[in-house]
Amino acid sequence: MNWVEIKIKTSTEAIEAVSNLFYEAGVMGVVIEDPRIYLRPQDENQWDYIEIPEGIDFEEAVVTGYLVEDSSLAERVREIKEGVKRLPEYGLNMGSGEMAIATVSDEDWANAWKKYYKPTRIGKSIVVKPSWEEYQPAAGEVVVDLDPGMAFGTGTHETTRLCMELLEKYMKKNYDVIDLGCGSGILSLVAGKLGASQVLAIDRDEVAVKVARENVQRNNLTSVVKVIKGDGLRNISFKADIIVANIIADVIIDLSAQVPMNLKEGGIFLASGIIKDRKLSVMEALEKNGFDVIEESEKGEWVALTSRQAPIGN
């Protein structure tokens, strides 16, 4: 079987949106190259993020996706191109939007993207370990064993890191959690490892659901994390102490009216994937729907908002 490798040059702020376009088109793996961020080994078992200072002129970010070479290829490539052109409609800088296409063999695809991922420490105690890497955890570390190759969510993007750090801060033992747009399931796995009683992971993409379920099994969390295919919170009666959504600003704005119905009293909504220019719009929507924003967190061009349901009559 042959695969088609599609590389799109874009801005850092549009990385997640372009990745989602790939997955909506049915890609079988994504590689993200962000010029502002790179990994460097602190010792033989630990890798940390190093941020390149602002103001330095680097090349654009590159998002690479892999599609099976079949009769539907041309149509899926067209959908990706059109999606990239529409990014400015959502307030995102598309960058050059330049696309390069090449054919690779099955063996080359299987190994091409793995070189980009190493065990990564996030927050105080979380370590995301690719399933093919060896790692000896230190005392107190929470290790998530992840194979992200066919669904979005590796832990390397700033928005995902923000969510993990906030989960580490606000999670309490036996909390119930909903993970909206779960992708690879990474945030659900973190919640489970941090002591959640139940986690409901939801994604509309069948590939993401399949991969997330495999990662749940890999981490021995099948009794805690349930992964389902769904469209947001539609037809979901489960109530959570924490709802986390690492998506984009417009989707979070729409969700802000639905989330209260699925939060327990005093529950927390962790929203990430918000570019700085859209922060105020999201905050306005949250406040309109009865939330108090209790924390703002930033990494690079991205913002995460932590909000709590305001007391009745407030």
Q: The CATH number of the domain where 33 resides is what? A: 3.30.70.260
Please give the Cα distance from 262 to 241 (Å, whole number).
Answer: 9
In this structure, are 104 and 170 located in the same domain?
no
pTM: 0.70
In this structure, are 270 and 174 located in the same domain?
yes
In this structure, are 161 and 71 located in the same domain?
no
Of 63 and 168, the one with more pLDDT = 168
In this structure, are 185 and 252 located in the same domain?
yes
Write down the pLDDT at residue 49: 47
Q: Is residue 145 part of a domain?
A: no
In this structure, are 73 and 174 located in the same domain?
no
Residue 62 in this model has a pLDDT that exceeds 80: yes
Enumerate the H helices of the chain as residue ranges.
Answer: 15-24, 73-85, 106-112, 158-170, 186-193, 206-218, 249-255, 279-288
Q: Is residue 125 part of a domain?
A: no
Please give the Cα distance from 249 to 258 (Å, whole number).
Answer: 15
In this structure, are 73 and 195 located in the same domain?
no
Percent of the chain residues topping a pLDDT of 70: 83
Of the candidates 162, 160, 181, 159, which has an alpha carbon nearest to the alpha carbon of residue 170? 162
Of the candidates 198, 102, 205, 208, which has an alpha carbon nearest to the alpha carbon of residue 149? 208
Residue 228 in this model has a pLDDT that exceeds 50: yes
Q: Is residue 105 part of a domain?
A: yes
Q: What is the pLDDT of residues 103-143, one digit of tens each?
A: 877 666 556 666 666 788 888 999 988 888 888 888 889 99
Torsion of CA 9, 13, 17, 19, to 10 degrees: 50
- Which residues, listed in sequence order, are joined to residue 268 by a DSSP beta bridge? 242, 308
**Cβ-contact 47, 119 below 8 angstroms:** yes
Residue 250 in this model has a pLDDT that exceeds 50: yes
The two tokens of residue 272 are 């990430």
Among 69, 100, 115, the domain boundary falls at: 115
Q: Is residue 168 part of a domain?
A: yes
Give the range of the structural domain holding residue 170, as residue numbers without chain letter. 152-309
Please give the Cα distance from 67 to 50 (Å, whole number).
Answer: 31
In this structure, are 183 and 303 located in the same domain?
yes
The two tokens of residue 200 are 């409901």
In this structure, are 170 and 268 located in the same domain?
yes
**Token pair 């979005």 in the structure block, residue:** 152
- Domain with residue 191: its CATH number is 3.40.50.150
3-state DSSP of 156-189: CCHHHHHHHHHHHHHCCCCCEEEEECCCCCHHHH
In this structure, are 174 and 248 located in the same domain?
yes
In this structure, are 294 and 209 located in the same domain?
yes
Q: pLDDT averaged over the chain?
A: 84
Provide the domain count of the chain.
Answer: 2
pLDDT band at 53 (very low <50, low <70, confident <90, very high): very low
pLDDT band at 17 (very low <50, low <70, confident <90, very high): confident
In this structure, are 99 and 173 located in the same domain?
no
Write down the pLDDT at residue 133: 81
Among 115, 139, 166, the domain boundary falls at: 115
Q: Is residue 144 part of a domain?
A: no
Write down the pLDDT at residue 149: 55
pLDDT band at 188 (very low <50, low <70, confident <90, very high): very high
Q: 52 Cβ partners below 8 Å, 6+ apart?
A: 35, 36, 37, 38, 58
Least confident of 24-33, 37-46, 187-196: 37-46
- One-letter amino acid at 139 equals A
Write down the pLDDT at residue 83: 93
In this structure, are 182 and 270 located in the same domain?
yes
Q: What is the pLDDT of residues 261-311, one digit of tens each?
A: 999 999 999 999 898 889 999 999 999 999 999 999 998 778 999 999 876
Q: 174 Cβ partners below 8 Å, 6+ apart?
A: 195, 196, 197
- One-letter amino acid at 181 equals G
